[in-house]
Chain A
């Protein structure tokens, strides 16, 4: 179900996640970012200090609300209480856009509070598209969905992840949040080519890029884990440059850190590097 008014225009800029440890930085001065992204669930609340701070930051900067609990891939359907509260947040904040992940987190009985992998099958695709239609209909706007990092694939898979995402955007009109680190992590865990992944996506649907760090594989554990607890690694920076060069439109790029959160200046340093790489990637090649 694609709505006429669901177009999300490109937004060119560089931002960070708004985290509690940086509240004072954002309240006391103008931080050199073009937007902030917040975890939706942290602000799907009724009042108090945390929400007041978000409102103050919103008065200065565009805000993106990024969820981790919509469970868009749940075969049991979406949680109506969750959707109601997300809609309330969306109305209170008027975000640039609303995003979540290509994943599932819960059944009707329990919640894993983790981004669990979808089997890449036609059945799963139909379920997820039905859920996306419902979410976009409730919100009255198109959403972005992020490619996940994953630690297993399913024997029953029928599609590659990029084929799945392509078909998902085609059927629902949703957009993509490209997590470059997640592409890298999953490519190493499952043995596919990051470049092939990028080339297979509908890149005109990408509106945002996430950059984050991960825990590399070890001799004891050959799985790379997406931890968001350290700086972006060199391979991911290189892949970011390739992705930006391939995109037909400007996008919003952000540094995502959720654990071992450093002082803000450190994240802003990484953001400067992203600016530099994006600028170089978009320069015409010198002959």
Chain B
């Protein structure tokens, strides 16, 4: 198999560069007629990508304002032209673009992160939440070792992040079409957990320490490792500290179970 670039591949690369970048050279031998046609394709590309971002980040757009959002989209597309086959992917990393573009309003990036996370869970594989009673029955005979080695299966594509703004308030306010003035700052950071309840993407704000704990369990940490995580860098924890960490992990587990975020044990 050869890696030789064919004339067709070269022509397609030149054509696509000219669509993405108005200042790129046009293919050789082109007349005004071809240039006019290319302008239609360039317009289609721009409206498709901008349309996809506007659809994915409806609330972010409403909050940021039309012009500012449009400029952020242009920056994002120039820096990250779409590469994947699904247009939805054009919005990947837009929260980071917003973090730079709206540096004085970090809540814009947090809102964009939430909208991306909600989109991701909307089409995730279906996951049946574990019934708390079933969890109780499955763990009824657990000894310390069983608990220490317990792993959890979480709702597919659920995600978590520490946030500094009241995304619950913003989400609700912005869902009502008009941008109302409100102070969305939280008094202290919290964790935003995003998952799907049945067919409905949803999220909650909980204590900040949930984020690392949830991510660790999603990545396959054991319940014992979760307790170690909560103990932090303490090389010689007291029995009371260990007890507190165990109680804290139990509280988190209870919350995840109650919210329907756990789908199974020891996957």
A-side residues, CB < 8 A to B, are: 41, 44-52, 69, 71, 74-76, 79, 81-82, 104, 106-107, 109-114, 116-117, 119, 121, 123-124, 127, 150-156, 189, 221-223, 225
Contact = CB atoms under 8 A, between A and B. Distances in A.
A124 B13 CA distance: 14
Output the residue of B34, B48, B123 with the most chain A CB within 10 A: B123
A-B CB proximity, top 9 nearest: A152-B37, A75-B9, A151-B37, A45-B123, A47-B126, A49-B199, A75-B8, A46-B125, A151-B40
A121 B12 CA distance: 13
A74 B12 contact: yes
Contacts of B84: 111
Contact of A110 (B30, B48, B82): B82
B253 to A, nearest CB: 25
A111 B83 contact: yes
B135 interface: no
Interface residue range, chain B: 35 or more
Contacts of A150: 37
A107 B13 contact: yes
B153 to A, nearest CB: 15
Interface in B1-25: 6-9, 11-13, 15-16, 19-20
Contact of A154 (B34, B40, B199): B34
Contact of B7 (A52, A82, A123): A123
A48 B199 CA distance: 5
Nearest to A82: B85
A116 B13 CA distance: 12
B41 interface: yes
B124 A151 contact: no
Interface of B: 6-9, 11-13, 15-16, 19-20, 29-31, 33-34, 36-38, 40-41, 44-45, 48-49, 52, 81-87, 90, 121-126, 156, 196, 199-200
B2 to A, nearest CB: 13
Contacts of A154: 34
A112 B8 contact: no
Contact of A49 (B16, B40, B90, B122): B122
Given A114-B44, A151-B41, A223-B37, A47 B86 contact: no
Contact of B16 (A79, A107, A121): A107
A155 B85 contact: no
A57 B219 CA distance: 36
Contacts of B11: 75, 119
Given A112-B16, A124-B8, A46 B86 contact: no
B37 to A, nearest CB: 3
Nearest to B36: A223
Contacts of B19: 112, 114, 116
A119 B123 contact: no
A67 to B, nearest CB: 9
Q: Which of B40, B52, B196, B200 neighbours the largest number of chain A CB atoms within 10 Å of its CB?
A: B40
A53 B156 CA distance: 20
B45 A112 contact: yes
Contacts of A46: 123-126, 156
Contacts of A44: 86
Nearest to A83: B85
B43 to A, nearest CB: 9
Contacts of B12: 74-76, 104, 107, 116
B227 to A, nearest CB: 33
A51 B123 contact: yes
B245 to A, nearest CB: 35
B251 to A, nearest CB: 30
12 contacts: A46-B124, A46-B126, A48-B121, A49-B199, A75-B6, A109-B83, A111-B81, A112-B41, A127-B6, A154-B34, A222-B36, A223-B36
A194 B200 CA distance: 48
A154 to B, nearest CB: 7
A116 B90 CA distance: 18
A236 B200 CA distance: 42
A104 B8 CA distance: 11
B34 to A, nearest CB: 5
Contact of B33 (A48, A81, A152, A221): A152
